[in-house]
Amino acid sequence: MNRHMLTSLISPVISRFALLGILFCAATIGQTQVAKGDEVSNVPGGGQNASVAQSIKRPEFILDMVHHNPGEPKTESAFRDPHHLFRNGYNGQVTISLLEAAVTFDSLDPEIFPKDSPSRHWVDKLAASIEHELQAAHKAGIKLYPFTQIILLPKSLCEKYHNELYSGDRIDIHKPFTQKVVRAQIAEIFTRFPDLDGIMVRWGETYLVDVPYHTGGNPIVRGVESQVTLIQLLRDEVCVKRNKQLFYRTWGAGFHSAPDYYLKVTDQIEPHPNLVFSIKYPIVDFHRMQIFNPTLGIGKHRQLVEIQCQPEGYGKGAHPYYVGQGVIDGWEELKYQNDEKIRRKFYSESDGRYQANLNCLRDFIAHSNYAGVWTWSRGGGWNGPYIKNEFWCELNAFVISKWAQNPKRTERELVREFARENLGLTDIDQDRFYQICVLSAAGTLRGRCSYFAKNNVWWTRDDVMGGINEQERGMFDQVILDGVTEKMIAEKAEAVAIWHQIEALSRQLEIPDPAMKEFVVTSCTYGRFTFEIFEKGWTVMLLGTLGDKTGNYDQDRIASAIADYDRLWKEWRALKEASTSCATLYHSNYCRYIRGVRMDYSDTGLDSSINKYRNLLKK
């Protein structure tokens, strides 16, 4: 598929020139050259406010986390090894250690975990594992900041002191006894682990599947007032009394995304050298078609930027999906965020209520609030796809962490370095590899998201594919009303064309290690199958819904798309059977969340939507 064939698919909403600038810094091998040490890459998105890099010092924090799926065995990953992190320039590790459950509350009530009881043995065993993690991190030369859920408390304590802790069915942070309990919990944590460097606080999402003797939930029962109460308590116990580091995550409610909410909370908190607010870089979750988080770069507190390297809605490393260019220098869609037609398709704040102060990480690094970055090298979401090689996740983590250490370098330069060191590629193949990376971001945007419709941000996630039932209410009706059905179908075909090019480029790479060659090609083919199945599904759903409205079904195109859909699934399964490196495949149905426990599979999804029109054609 050549460049001219690709551009013929593009809607007038985005000019041919603009798209070529976004996608094909690389349509010709070696077209873009960046000398070693250059600050600004001559690639799309690159170079926004890049001159600030001259005066930027290494940030205080460059952290990483492997987030295991709740209820499943711990993820096998090189990033769990603190020596690996140290070698790659990280200075801190965030672990899913269940630190909050590793204390006995003996100082409060010795009967909570009676000695020699099964629950006491469980707590002691957990504490020993955390001590091992702490010693390993310090031996490697980095600090440890366990992910700490608040509020999570022993069931026995909650049962015994229910009236003193609860308001209705919620543990109430405003009750004096609740505050006493949380203070005792923090005190025991740092008494049991005196060398612990600090904690990363998670509130709101409390997972209980791995803690058989504990319960808990969201402590924010009065919005801003609860946030202020909890932060002040933790600041006092962690930062002031013990001189330990406190990272307080804003994820949840409006705190994460609404500048007015964020300031209402943080303006009431006195800054402290050990207090940092941790914030995801997008305004919603780790998705495309949304503005850079408008709470970054405001207020009087330092801020840590969270970046997911195995995005749960974008393949989870089963196929290439490169985030480095978008996070560092700005995603392509941000060029159009002031275009009213496109802005309405952004997943959040489409009314323009919030405007981003920044567009990318490069815009933020000179700000006094900037404290560093925190990569989620692995994890996020639930279930699969389960990958056998974390190569694509490692690429994203490598680029972000190395760039944070020295923002004078370009993300393109870092991608080339990664390809050279990990695949042994020559200069010309490094360029091909960079094309694969840039194209993966562009193809994923068009295949999963849209410039023409505000589809549900979670219509596909982890290893599930949603259908009509999983879309935004009225989305298909709006597409038909706007007269963009064919444009949206063409957009999905454009994504497939991009993925065909990615697959072709992967086959051209001369990788010395046959196993790595097989993996890279297989993962790129995996991506092509994913987005080709998406395209056929969208074609059936869009044309089917149009037929529902008009009574006139384009039977030939719908039938052809269904036949292709069936064929592609067979070929995708054959790829999985033939390859030793292939990730587990998606499910053609969707998921349902059992709160605090797991993500299960549902009876609805893409397959059920396809079957609706399959059965209609039979009639």
Per residue in 375-399, pLDDT tens? 999 999 999 999 999 999 999 999 9
Residue 284 shares a structural domain with residue 337: no
pLDDT the model gives residue 29? 32
Instruction: Quickly list DSSP for 387-431.
Output: PS--HHHHHHHHHHHHHHH-TTS-HHHHHHHHHHHHH---HHHHH
Domain-terminating residue out of 412, 438, 473: 412
Q: Which among 26, 62, 34, 29 has a CA at the least distance from the CA of 408?
A: 34
pLDDT tens digits, 231-286: 999 999 999 999 999 999 999 888 999 999 999 999 999 999 999 999 999 998 99
**CA distance linking residue 475 with residue 467, whole number of Å:** 12
Residue 223 shares a structural domain with residue 356: no
pLDDT tens digits, 151-169: 999 999 999 999 999 999 9
Q: Specify the amino acid at residue 532.
A: E
pLDDT tens digits, 433-464: 999 999 999 999 999 999 999 999 899 999 99
Identify the bridge partners of residue 389 per DSSP, sorted by sequence position.
Answer: none
Residue 187 shares a structural domain with residue 273: yes
Q: Considering its fold, how many domains does the chain have in total? A: 2
Residue 597 pLDDT class (50, 70, 90 cuts): confident
Q: Which among 261, 260, 293 has a CA at the least distance from the CA of 278?
A: 293
Residue 23 pLDDT class (50, 70, 90 cuts): very low
Residue 30 shares a structural domain with residue 66: no
pLDDT tens digits, 414-434: 999 999 999 999 999 999 999
Residue 352 pLDDT class (50, 70, 90 cuts): low
Is residue 601 in some structural domain?
yes
Query: Residue 148 sits in which domain range?
Result: 59-293+371-412
Is 350's pLDDT higher than 70?
A: no
Is residue 608 in some structural domain?
yes
Residue 345 shares a structural domain with residue 447: yes
Q: Which of 48-52, 95-99, 199-203, 560-564 is predicted least confidently? A: 48-52
Q: Which among 569, 579, 591 has a CA at the least distance from the CA of 462?
A: 591
The pTM for the full model equals 0.92
Structure tokens at 610: 């396809």
pLDDT the model gives residue 344? 87
How many Å is the Cα radius of gyration of the chain?
Answer: 25
pLDDT the model gives residue 51? 44
Domain-terminating residue out of 383, 412, 441: 412
Residue 437 shares a structural domain with residue 305: yes
The helix (run of H) or strand (run of E) holding residue 376 is strand 370-379
- 409 phi/psi in degrees, rounded to 5: -85, 150
Instruction: Quickly list DSSP for 215-283.
Output: EE----SSTHHHHHHHHHHHIIIIIITT--EEEEE--STTTTT-HHHHHHHHTTS---TTEEEEEESBS
Is residue 229 in some structural domain?
yes
Residue 509 shares a structural domain with residue 494: yes
Is residue 420 in some structural domain?
no
3-state SS, residue 601? strand
**CA distance linking residue 22 with residue 16, whole number of Å:** 10
* Long-range Cβ pairs for the range 110-119 (8 Å, 24+): 111/156, 111/160, 112/154, 112/156, 112/157, 112/160, 113/154, 113/156, 113/213, 119/154, 119/156, 119/213
Residue 147 shares a structural domain with residue 67: yes
Residue 11 shares a structural domain with residue 78: no
**CA distance linking residue 571 with residue 558, whole number of Å:** 20
Q: Which among 501, 499, 423, 500 has a CA at the least distance from the CA of 29?
A: 501
Decide: 536 and 484 in contact? Cβ < 8 Å.
no
Is residue 418 in some structural domain?
no
Domain-terminating residue out of 350, 382, 412: 412
pLDDT the model gives residue 452? 96
Is residue 487 in some structural domain?
yes
Is 22's pLDDT higher than 90?
A: no
Is residue 421 in some structural domain?
no
3-state SS, residue 546? helix
Which residues have a Cβ under 8 Å from the Cβ of 414 and sit 6 or more positions away? 324, 398, 399, 402, 403
3-state SS, residue 145? coil
CA trace torsion 567, 570, 573, 578 (10° rounding): -100
Decide: 435 and 505 in contact? Cβ < 8 Å.
yes
Residue 281 shares a structural domain with residue 140: yes
Average pLDDT score, the chain: 91
Whole-angstrom CA distances from 149 to 85, 104, 109, 122 are 24, 16, 21, 18
Residue 309 shares a structural domain with residue 209: no
pLDDT the model gives residue 35? 28
Read off the CATH number of the domain in which 69 is found: 3.20.20.80
Is residue 230 in some structural domain?
yes
Residue 98 shares a structural domain with residue 207: yes
